[in-house]
Structure 1
Amino acid sequence: MEHFIVSARKYRPQTFKDVVGQQAITNTLLNAIENNHLAQALLFTGPRGVGKTSCARILAKTINQDGNQHPDEDFAFNIFELDAASNNSVDDIRNLIDQVRIPPQVGKYKVYIIDEVHMLSQAAFNAFLKTLEEPPKHAIFILATTEKHKIIPTILSRCQIFDFKRITVTDAKNHLMQVATQEGITADEDALQIIAQKADGAMRDALSIFDRVVSFSGKNLTRQAVTENLNVLDYETYFKTTDLILENNIPQLLLEFNEILALGFDGHHFIAGLASHFRDLLVCKNPATINLLEVGEQTKSKYHEQSQKTSHSFLVKGIELANDCDLKYKTSRNQRLLVELCLMQLASILLNTDGEKKNDQPYIIPPSYFKEKGIEAIKIPAAAKEKVDQKNVEINSVLQQPEKPTQTPQKSADVSIANHTVQTNANEVSNDSTPSTSNESLVATSTEKKPIAINRDRKTSGLSLSSIRKKKEHQENKQEKVIDPKNLPTEDFTESEMQDGWIEYGKLQDKKGERIIGSMFAMNIPTLDGHTICLELPNQSMKVDLEAAQSGLLQFLYKKLNNFSITLKITVNEEASKKYAFTPQDKYEKLREKNPLIDKLRSDFDLDI
């Protein structure tokens, strides 16, 4: 039995032309070799499986060739590979430095390839600095790493850095096609496309997956075999799910999701893939961005066909809902319910709030309302709709006024608020369209005859048109009332009456929660000079607070004293503040003057002040 060699090793690049997806780097290295412009310290960095170590070996082999050697000569004696993951101590670097001093026996250069160089310790990096900066003429160092940020800056500054990029899906698919051809395997383009996407930019991973799928399906590689073996959701699943969403078929959508879970797929993977599917549909809607879709031509035509069924706003909203579900999935306690809720929301994007599809037929009130009331809804023409819309705008402008509508007894019977509103609008419409010969409504007719309940004592509803008219009339009457200042009363009042009103207003403020203002009114009693209230305050801050409450105070005193010529005069006397600055000792002395027995009480019970 012949020994099997995995494709990742069997088809490892032997020349720079065999390297997949790194055209810029390979051209740079070839030009540097031809022009004798190659640096002595190189750093290859990038994701796994993109060709860093392969390019290092090809470079080491190429710089030692002078045209006289056999093409298969690998110059093994001139190439030294060191795995820094297991040889990361200072002693390992010292041994390497000792070997660098010895010139090569064959060829021009000794090439030292240090893989996973970011695993070296800090001491090993420092020991390597001097040799890396000034190596012998025959030594070239090639450092390879997947994590450049872990390498100290002093090492980076001494190296010529080459950043390897991820291999695109198209490049990986084309390379897999060549491998399949050489192996004599018949492979569908979609099957190789799925393998390339699953590899996520790593050619080594793509070849490993290819070997695994070939072992499963044999010489005939189909899309179904790949999806079954790799346990991935293919395009057909998302095409079918999107069709159900566009049809608003929520029951079937939930059954489809249940089948996906039954096949062993994760709900998180499904919803993330659905978001990507919506993104691909959005990309297909614009010819300028269709190249961003990394799929085969046959699949691209399916995407284009389904994208024509969707709108831009639907796809944007769908991506937003699916992405939000993706973010909440890990923290959710009921993850299946979260995905099902997201699917129901997606299926409801094209529905209005009443669960019916949007259309161009105008309705004054949603049809579902009339169905619940047993009323048949009738559509109105476009010309009549404009008249109704204009009336609704007038009603909304009245509703936006700040005052509450006045509640007055209704003079005539109201059947219902909804019927009254609809009939009023309909009657106004009928005046502009066709003459009406009866009092029947043009918009809604009741299928059942019900007795009309008359309640003359009921107050006007805040939602009826009559209340809106009352409110509008109230606003007009309010604006027409202009008070002449000459007719305002100016009755005389005494100082005690004024002070009683002053204290009463302070108590009202205290009840409202304005305790600071209330205490200010209680502590500072004003005097009266004619119709001017004179108040002396101990500091400026109290004056500012009182002036802020001055408007409400004067309005209260106008009505309390029936005099609209009252004015308020506030002055500040800093000396007056001294009478409020009592210390505990001052208070005790004051109390002892009034009652000398307090001193005896203090001494008997040994009390402190």
Structure 2
Amino acid sequence: MEQFIVSARKYRPQNFSTVVGQSHITTTLKNAIRNQQLAHAFLFCGPRGVGKTTCARILAKTINCEHPSEDGEACNTCHSCVSFNEGSSLNIHELDAASNNSVDDIRALVDQVRFAPQAGKYKVYIVDEVHMLSASAFNAFLKTLEEPPPYAIFILATTEKHKILPTILSRCQIFDFKRITTNDTVEHLEDICSKESIRAEKAALQIIAQKSEGCMRDALSILDKIVSFTNGELTYQNTLEHLNILDADYYFRMMEHMLNQDLSSAMLLYDDINRKGFEGDMVLNGFAEFIRNLLLSKDEKVASLMEVVESFRHRYIKMAAKLSAGYLVSALNILAEAEINYKSARNKKLHVELALIRLCYLHQALEIVSDSSKKKITELKPLNFRVLQPVRQPQEKTIQPATSPRPIPVPQPVSAPQPGPVLIIEDKAIAQKEKTQAGKLGSLQKLRERVSNNSQSEKKTHAICLTDELLQKAWQEFIEQLKLSRNPAAQSFEMAALQVKNDSSFCIITPNNLQQKFIEGERIPLSEYMQKRFHNNLLTYQVIVEQREDLQIKFEAPLNSRERYQQLSSQFPLVKELKDRLRLELDY
């Protein structure tokens, strides 16, 4: 029976041209080999399973190839290439830093660097997972990495570049590997399926590529597992079943029920999903991703960002045309909130069902909000103008002589025309305006008079001159207020001394800085109280720290043994006489 080899090892690239998805790195390395501009240290960093170790091995094989091609590829036929492919080459040394991360392991590696290669040009040292080295191991590696022998090349590989010391990074040429795109992964899987005579639907391969998230090794492992499960026939349905992925068709049906506000059908569909064993958070996350794809489908420029099966792409665009962007954004907010609170919910199924209920009636809620936010425009009404009565023209004056039975009209002079109705209206308006302004000016004048009267009444209250007696009395009153409010600064105020400087200023003398800070903390209340107490807004004070014995807190220190004996002997002389007669020596 032939031994089975997993696809990740069986189809590992042997040349730069067969590396998938890393053309920016393979091109750079081939040009460096062709132009003989190789660095002495390389750092390959990037996600897992994207070809870092593979490129390191291909580089090690190519630089020792005896007959390289013109484009910088290894021939795979010379003795060096054959021994390398068989794993018997002495010019390549691989070290797994995850399990060999001590200083002794690095020192053993440095000792090997001193020996030149017996065959070939270079000795290549590949250190995988280099971020796992300890700090002391990194320091032991620095000098050799900076100035290695001309025949030694170091290739460091890591998935966590940020954990490597800056001193190591500055000594290496850094190559950043990127995730392999879904299209590149699908093409590589199709090539392997054709070589292995595996019948695979493209939709199934696309699901595998999406599940691998840019990692080719994971994609090949999933492919091997499903091939073993299905006996060499990959279909869309058995791939979904094996990977435990919810089909997008369920989400399309769920969205149709929500558009129709058919809550019962939506709840039954979720119950069917729940019976298949899919957890609620997986449903919420998948539905949110589905709505995100619908939102992207509304714009052709960003529709390419969707990583979906090609057979569903047209269906996404058709469904997105029925929905507004506002509805999709609101649905995303509801699903995101439900997913965040899912872990803290006691009844998980009820929590998901409540989110589905909100989504079913989201259209109706948005319509209510939009209707209430619209401002109702009232009908325009004509303005009510006051009807002006026409002004009567003055009658012509007549002279009625006694001899004439008919009155003779006397014309008015032309130079003095009578004012019309418009002029009369303007005069009334001007008069009314002047009257209003006079009223306003009159009220303003009254306010000014009131303020001036108040200021005059305040000026009449004379300031009280500062004296030692009045100041001490006011000071004690303020201390009583502090005690009533249980303010700890009251003790500092009691220990302070006062000194009057002049009629509007005084000094507060404290023995130390601590009491000064307590008094300074009550500066505003003290200033307001003293100014009000002495009717003087210009009253000021100053806090001074002065070492005075009368202000110090006096503590009675206990007597020592000698002092107690002296005190006792002074009170009772016979004690001293007894000591002298007996010739006693006291140990103080």
Query: TM-score, normalized by length of structure 1?
Result: 0.61
C-alpha spacing 1:582/1:104, structure 2 compared with 1 (3 Å): closer
Deviation at 1:290, TM superposition (A): 1.6
1:183 to 181, 193, 196: 196
The residue matched to 2:43 in structure 1 has which SS?
strand
Residues 126, 156 of structure 2: 8 Å contact kept: yes
Deviation track 1:36-85 (CA, whole Å, cap 9, x = no partner) reads 11111000011111111111011100110021715544162111000111
Q: Following the alignment from structure 1 to structure 2, what is the Cα–Cα distance between the partners of residues 145 and 212?
A: 27
Q: Following the alignment from structure 2 to structure 1, what is the Cα–Cα distance between the partners of residues 226 and 204?
A: 10
Task: State how 1:180-259 maps to structure 2 within 5 Å.
Answer: 180-259=193-272
Deviation track 1:364-413 (CA, whole Å, cap 9, x = no partner) reads x9xxxxxxxxxxxxxxxxxxxx9x8525x99xxxxxxxxxxxxxxxxxxx
The equivalent residue for 1:390 is: 378
1:295 equivalent in alignment to 2:312: no
The equivalent residue for 2:44 is: 44
Task: State how 1:255-404 maps to structure 2 within 5 Å.
Answer: 255-352=268-365, 389-390=377-378
The equivalent residue for 2:74 is: none
Residues 203, 310 of structure 2: 8 Å contact kept: no
The equivalent residue for 1:66 is: 66
Q: Following the alignment from structure 2 to structure 1, what is the Cα–Cα distance between the partners of residues 202 and 105?
A: 48
Q: Following the alignment from structure 1 to structure 2, what is the Cα–Cα distance between the partners of residues 13 and 190?
A: 25
Residues 209, 219 of structure 2: 8 Å contact kept: yes
The residue matched to 1:204 in structure 2 has which SS?
helix
Q: Following the alignment from structure 1 to structure 2, what is the Cα–Cα distance between the partners of residues 147 and 586?
A: 67
Residues 208, 222 of structure 2: 8 Å contact kept: yes
Q: Following the alignment from structure 1 to structure 2, what is the Cα–Cα distance between the partners of residues 57 and 159?
A: 17
Q: Following the alignment from structure 1 to structure 2, what is the Cα–Cα distance between the partners of residues 241 and 586?
A: 76
Residues 534, 570 of structure 1: 8 Å contact kept: no
Decide which moves more: 119-128 or 571-580.
571-580
The residue matched to 2:162 in structure 1 has which SS?
helix
Q: Following the alignment from structure 2 to structure 1, what is the Cα–Cα distance between the partners of residues 103 and 49?
A: 29
The equivalent residue for 2:474 is: 581
Q: Following the alignment from structure 2 to structure 1, what is the Cα–Cα distance between the partners of residues 478 and 166?
A: 72
Q: Following the alignment from structure 1 to structure 2, what is the Cα–Cα distance between the partners of residues 4 and 531?
A: 107
The equivalent residue for 1:124 is: 137
Deviation track 1:344-372 (CA, whole Å, cap 9, x = no partner) reads 2222221148xxx7899x9xx9xxxxxxx
Deviation at 1:154, TM superposition (A): 0.5
Q: Following the alignment from structure 1 to structure 2, what is the Cα–Cα distance between the partners of residues 283 and 293?
A: 7
Deviation at 1:486, TM superposition (A): 13
C-alpha spacing 1:390/1:62, structure 2 compared with 1 (3 Å): same
C-alpha spacing 1:571/1:182, structure 2 compared with 1 (3 Å): farther
The equivalent residue for 2:109 is: 96
The residue matched to 1:236 in structure 2 has which SS?
helix
Deviation at 1:330, TM superposition (A): 2.6
Residues 207, 309 of structure 2: 8 Å contact kept: no
Deviation at 1:329, TM superposition (A): 2.2
Residues 535, 571 of structure 1: 8 Å contact kept: no
C-alpha spacing 1:298/1:532, structure 2 compared with 1 (3 Å): closer
C-alpha spacing 1:571/1:15, structure 2 compared with 1 (3 Å): farther
Deviation at 1:305, TM superposition (A): 1.5
Deviation at 1:146, TM superposition (A): 0.6
Decide which moves more: 313-322 or 126-135.
313-322
Tell me the amino acid that sits aligned with residue 186 of structure 2.
K
Q: Following the alignment from structure 1 to structure 2, what is the Cα–Cα distance between the partners of residues 584 and 113?
A: 85
Deviation track 1:175-230 (CA, whole Å, cap 9, x = no partner) reads 11111111111111111111111111111011111111111112221111011111
Residues 80, 112 of structure 1: 8 Å contact kept: yes
Q: Following the alignment from structure 2 to structure 1, what is the Cα–Cα distance between the partners of residues 21 and 317?
A: 28
Deviation at 1:262, TM superposition (A): 1.6
Q: Following the alignment from structure 1 to structure 2, what is the Cα–Cα distance between the partners of residues 289 and 351?
A: 29
C-alpha spacing 1:220/1:571, structure 2 compared with 1 (3 Å): farther
Tell me the amino acid that sits aligned with residue 575 of structure 1.
I
Tell me the amino acid that sits aligned with residue 61 of structure 2.
K
Q: Following the alignment from structure 1 to structure 2, what is the Cα–Cα distance between the partners of residues 290 and 253?
A: 27
Deviation track 1:298-350 (CA, whole Å, cap 9, x = no partner) reads 22111112111211211122222222222222333333333222222222221
Q: Following the alignment from structure 2 to structure 1, what is the Cα–Cα distance between the partners of residues 260 and 83?
A: 65
1:81 equivalent in alignment to 2:99: no
Deviation at 1:4, TM superposition (A): 1.1
C-alpha spacing 1:90/1:576, structure 2 compared with 1 (3 Å): same
Q: Following the alignment from structure 1 to structure 2, what is the Cα–Cα distance between the partners of residues 482 and 340?
A: 70
C-alpha spacing 1:129/1:584, structure 2 compared with 1 (3 Å): same
Residues 114, 144 of structure 1: 8 Å contact kept: yes
Deviation track 1:499-550 (CA, whole Å, cap 9, x = no partner) reads xxxxxxxxxxxxxxxxxxxxxxxxxxxxxxx9999779xxxxxxxxxxxxxx
Deviation at 1:126, TM superposition (A): 0.4
Task: State how 1:433-452 maps to structure 2 within 5 Å.
Answer: none
The residue matched to 1:575 in structure 2 has which SS?
coil
Q: Quick check: which has more Rg, 1 or 2?
A: 2
Residues 43, 159 of structure 1: 8 Å contact kept: yes
Q: Following the alignment from structure 1 to structure 2, what is the Cα–Cα distance between the partners of residues 532 and 287?
A: 73
Q: How many residue pairs get matched? A: 403
Tell me the amino acid that sits aligned with residue 390 of structure 1.
T
The residue matched to 2:48 in structure 1 has which SS?
coil
C-alpha spacing 1:485/1:175, structure 2 compared with 1 (3 Å): closer
Deviation at 1:116, TM superposition (A): 0.6
Deviation at 1:169, TM superposition (A): 1.4
Root-mean-square deviation (CA), in Å? 3.3
Task: State how 1:533-572 maps to structure 2 within 5 Å.
Answer: 569=458
1:17 equivalent in alignment to 2:17: yes
Structure 2: which 5+ residue stretches go unaligned? Answer: 68-76, 382-435, 444-448, 481-588
C-alpha spacing 1:350/1:101, structure 2 compared with 1 (3 Å): same
Residues 40, 154 of structure 2: 8 Å contact kept: yes
